[in-house]
């Protein structure tokens, strides 16, 4: 069995991060067996190297290795691609075709983005993992295959299971051994090594002098979050190598070329279907409307006092209300002390003072009718905002609102949106 250093050199893996080394060591350790492996990691971290290492270090290395991007195959044809089909099984099936599992018999198949598989395909995959049997599309004949399955995903499969988008039994069957690939931001000590390697490769590819980073620029890219991980770093190195005339890249130039780290906060879903966020927004919206209504009532009271400033007194409830509201809104900096029960402060005088102070506390412009508190109107507005946010994409808007796409379609027709 090859050493870790030899494997890194063979597959062009750069870096000495402890978490990365542990992941590679685990891949080498499980390679001689036939157990299923699930590779977990964000998009762009290099998950595709793990199944190659497992296949290369296994007894299957002289047989076929097939990599399949499950997210890139349309749902209507993925069963045919994976399991094959018989002639005449569907329109356009002019001849019998072998699927990937049949072609990879005796070898290894890598299912990238396995979380994107349709539920019907997940059932077929589970059968292969448990019994090694499958049927072609349009066939009733059971066939056998001996395939090592390595899967990878950047989707949190536990959350997908809770949403009913991924089978729990398939998850545990695939996840016999889990290998976690760290994100680039967790490998800060490797970032400059990777950049220099990419810069050298592109200099040779495009036949131009190598680029170098100034010390401040090196420190900057080492602390940059790199949301696109190694793929983003590689593309950035290629961009700088091609478009920059100066071969020493300064910090100012790096800051200009990289997207800002200070991004505006975005509305994200924190639980299933975004229902929690939707309920919180709806509750906050109602609280704000209630506050606005209370504000209108207070303004109306103040104006009523002014209109009746010549009256000879307040009743007890009005005195108590005014005193409480005043004390809650008074600050030492901008309002003097006042006692409406002092003899020198007549009701008329106090009403005038309350009006004067209200300029600092409330807007005493003419009272407008409060916005509608109708749940139907609020629902219509929420749907409109969700559709605008997702540029008319109903599926994404439905997920944001925590309702089904069919329900959203019905609401759109109902509200003529």
67-76 residue pLDDT tens: 999 999 999 8
Assess whether 197 and 309 both reside in one domain: no
Distance CA 106, CA 233 (A): 37
User: How far, in Å, are 65, 115, 226 from residue 39 at the CA level?
Assistant: 17, 12, 20
Interval 397-417 mean pLDDT: 80
Burial 192-211 (b: 16+ CB within 10 A, else e): eebbbbbbeebbeeeeeeeb
Name which residue leads in pLDDT, 391 or 349: 391
Distance CA 415, CA 402 (A): 18
What are the tokens at 9? 């050199």
CATH number at residue 411: 1.10.10
Domain assignment present for residue 95? The answer is yes
Assess whether 35 and 131 both reside in one domain: yes
Task: Among 129, 161, 182, give the residue marking a domain's end.
Answer: 182
352 pLDDT above the threshold of 90 = no
Assess whether 176 and 189 both reside in one domain: no
Domain assignment present for residue 40? The answer is yes
- Of 107, 108, 111, 110, which Cα lies nearest the Cα of 121? 111
Assess whether 26 and 150 both reside in one domain: yes
Assess whether 32 and 85 both reside in one domain: yes
Domain assignment present for residue 265? The answer is no
Assess whether 109 and 127 both reside in one domain: yes
Grade residue 379 by pLDDT with cuts at 50, 70 and 90: confident
218 pLDDT above the threshold of 90 = yes
* Residues spanned by the domain of 300: 276-361
User: How far, in Å, are 16, 24, 53, 65, 159 from residue 8 at the CA level?
Assistant: 10, 9, 10, 19, 33
User: In whole numbers, what is the pLDDT of the chain averaged over residues?
Assistant: 82
Task: Among 257, 287, 313, give the residue marking a domain's end.
Answer: 257
Assess whether 297 and 394 both reside in one domain: no
333 pLDDT above the threshold of 50 = no
Assess whether 55 and 146 both reside in one domain: yes
339 pLDDT above the threshold of 50 = no
Grade residue 378 by pLDDT with cuts at 50, 70 and 90: confident
Identify the pLDDT of residue 245: 86
Distance CA 104, CA 169 (A): 24
- Of 296, 292, 278, 275, which Cα lies nearest the Cα of 378? 278
- φ, ψ at 45 (rounded to 5°): -85, -10
125 pLDDT above the threshold of 90 = yes
Grade residue 405 by pLDDT with cuts at 50, 70 and 90: confident
Assess whether 252 and 283 both reside in one domain: no
Grade residue 280 by pLDDT with cuts at 50, 70 and 90: low
Q: How long is the chain?
A: 417
Name which residue leads in pLDDT, 386 or 366: 386
Assess whether 250 and 388 both reside in one domain: no
Assess whether 280 and 396 both reside in one domain: no
Burial 53-82 (b: 16+ CB within 10 A, else e): bbbbbbebeebebbbbebeebeeeebbbbb
- φ, ψ at 144 (rounded to 5°): -110, 150
> Which residues neighbour 317 within 8 Å (Cβ) at sequence distance 6 or greater?
none
Interval 218-227 mean pLDDT: 94
145, 105 Cβ separation under 8 angstroms: yes
Name which residue leads in pLDDT, 80 or 350: 80
Please list the residues that pair with 111 across neighbouring strands. Answer: 68, 151
Number of domains observed in the structure of the chain: 4
Identify the pLDDT of residue 401: 82
Domain assignment present for residue 270? The answer is no
Assess whether 172 and 210 both reside in one domain: no
Task: Among 143, 167, 182, give the residue marking a domain's end.
Answer: 182
């Amino acid at each position: 069995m090859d050493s870790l250093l030899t494997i890194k050199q063979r597959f062009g893996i750069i870096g000495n991060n402890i978490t990365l080394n542990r992941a590679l060591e685990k891949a080498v350790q499980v390679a001689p067996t036939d157990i299923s492996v699930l590779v977990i990691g964000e998009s762009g971290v290099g998950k595709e190297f793990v199944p190659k290492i497992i296949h290369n270090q296994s007894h299957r290395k002289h047989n076929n290795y097939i990599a399949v991007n499950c997210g890139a195959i349309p749902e209507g044809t993925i069963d045919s691609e994976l399991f094959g089909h018989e002639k005449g099984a569907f329109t356009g099936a002019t001849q019998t075709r072998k699927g990937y599992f049949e072609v990879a018999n005796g070898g290894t198949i890598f299912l990238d983005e396995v979380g994107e598989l349709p539920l019907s395909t997940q059932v077929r995959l589970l059968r292969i993992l448990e019994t090694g049997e499958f049927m072609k599309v349009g066939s009733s004949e059971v066939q056998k295959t001996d395939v090592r399955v390595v899967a990878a995903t950047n989707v949190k499969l536990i959350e997908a299971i809770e949403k009913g988008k991924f089978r729990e039994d398939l998850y545990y069957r695939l996840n016999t051994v889990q290998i976690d690939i760290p994100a680039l931001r967790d490998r800060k000590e490797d970032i400059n090594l990777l950049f220099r390697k990419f810069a050298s490769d592109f200099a040779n590819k495009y036949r131009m002098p190598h680029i170098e980073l100034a010390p401040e620029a090196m420190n900057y890219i080492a602390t940059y979050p790199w949301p696109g991980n190694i793929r983003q770093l590689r593309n950035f190195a290629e961009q700088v190598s091609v478009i920059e005339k100066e071969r020493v890249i300064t910090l100012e130039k790096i800051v200009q070329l990289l997207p800002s780290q200070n991004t505006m906060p975005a509305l994200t879903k924190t639980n299933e279907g975004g229902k929690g966020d939707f309920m919180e927004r709806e509750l906050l919206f109602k609280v704000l409307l209630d506050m606005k209504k209370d504000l209108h009532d207070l303004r109306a009271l103040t104006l009523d006092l002014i209109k009746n400033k010549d009256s000879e007194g307040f009743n007890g409830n009005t005195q108590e209300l005014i005193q409480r509201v005043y004390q809650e809104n008074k600050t030492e900096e901008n309002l003097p002390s006042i006692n409406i029960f002092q003899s020198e402060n007549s009701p008329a005088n106090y009403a005038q003072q309350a009006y004067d102070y209200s300029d600092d506390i409330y807007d005493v412009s003419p009272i407008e009718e409060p916005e509608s508190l109708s749940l139907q109107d609020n629902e219509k507005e929420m749907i409109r905002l969700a559709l605008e946010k997702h540029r008319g994409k109903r599926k994404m808007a439905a997920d944001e609102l925590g309702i089904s796409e069919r329900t959203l379609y019905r609401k759109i027709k109902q509200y003529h949106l």
